[in-house]
Amino acid sequence: MRESAGEVSSLDFIRIGDKLVDKARVYKAVDKILDLRAKGLSQQEAADQVGIDRAFVSRLESLGEIRKGARVALVGFPVGNKDEIRRVAEEEGVDFILLLNDVERWAYLQERSGQDVFNEIMAIITKLKSYDAVVFIGSDMRVSLVESILGNRVVGIEVGSSPIKGDRHVDPDSIRKIIRSITTTA
């Protein structure tokens, strides 16, 4: 039993009929199962390591599933309503989100050396190549550039002609529709 300041903590345990269940142990096992699955182990391999039935692993995944289908990234700048767009993307289960408003994008460039900016952008591009679809919000020139680098996995949303000065408002409903069209067809 766990003790805290000389007392047994009732928060970690729950009584179910004649059983006393350690909730922390359950949470730890679930975390381990999901970590093993995320590392690429099969349901059976994960179940064997934890000492449970494979069907439980399947049911556990179904319980927490947000969606099936394409891995989606969302990148955009300068987005004035980035918090609203981020919220939509999170609600729709977008896997990677990078949104900057105008002040943030300029600060990003001014706070780093040219070499650091180049290296970080190359790392982001490499990461984006691992996604099935990339929704990219930017100027006509930036959208065209990203499309030429990432190919047909890009869904471009032009918010003005380059160079854009100042933030742009992006319609959250259109972003939601785009994301849903990607995730339901994949």
Tell me how far apart the alpha carbons of residues 67 and 104 are, in angstroms, rounded to a whole number. Answer: 31
Q: Are 62 and 54 within 8 A, CB to CB?
A: no
Task: Answer yes or no: same fold for 3-64 and 72-185.
Answer: no
Fold adopted by 72-185: Rossmann fold (3.40.50)
Give the predicted TM-score (pTM) of the model: 0.67
In terms of Cβ atoms closer than 10 Å to its own Cβ (0-12, 13-18, 19+), residue 4 is: exposed
CATH number 1.10.1200 given to 3-64: no
The Cα-based distances of 143 to 62, 65, 87, 150, 179 in angstroms read: 36, 32, 22, 10, 17
Listed in sequence order, the residues at least 6 apart from 142 whose beta carbon sits closer than 8 Å to its beta carbon are 136, 162
> By C-alpha distance, which of 159, 148, 146 is closest to 85?
159
Provide the residue ranges of all domains of the chain, joining segments of one domain with +: 3-64, 72-185
pLDDT in tens, 39-92: 998 999 999 999 999 999 989 988 876 556 789 999 999 999 999 999 999 999
pLDDT in tens, 78-135: 999 999 999 999 999 999 999 999 999 999 999 999 999 999 999 999 999 999 999 9
